[in-house]
Amino acid sequence: MLTVLLLFVLICGSTGGEIAISHGAKKTGEPKRMRPWELLVFIGRVMSNGWFLLGIPLMAASFFALLILFSWHPLSFVIPISALSYVVGALGAKYILKEEVNAARWAGVILVCAGVAMVAAG
């Protein structure tokens, strides 16, 4: 039962956190040039964004769930199930971030999800 709960935290925490951080990064605007100093300034601006501060606890919860799951189970169990986060993420991108997830992108996401599960299980 604890394993199921931790897998839920792992998948929803990482997806929710990434969606919040993605939104925060877009609100910040992309760096003008790919110079180290400008990238550092950009990262500082993203990190002071409220969406980033919402995403971090979600990602942290997911991270600790991953560490505990790694200590309980082999990678070949944890990673195939966590691959579901690709599908959950695509749903979040479509309905929350309002991205255009067309048929090609859905097909790609599903193939990647199945592929990750097979690699880890194999």
CB of 112 to other proteins, least distance (A): 4
* Residues 49, 24 contacting (CB under 8 angstroms): yes
Q: Does 117 bind other proteins (CB under 8 A)?
A: yes
Q: Does 114 bind other proteins (CB under 8 A)?
A: yes
* Residues 110, 87 contacting (CB under 8 angstroms): yes
Q: Does 31 bind other proteins (CB under 8 A)?
A: yes
CB of 106 to other proteins, least distance (A): 9
Which residue, 10 or 28, has its beta carbon nearer to other proteins? Answer: 28
Q: Which residues bind other proteins (CB under 8 A)?
A: 2, 18-19, 21-23, 25-31, 34, 39, 42-43, 46, 66-68, 70-72, 75, 86, 89-90, 92-102, 104-105, 107-122
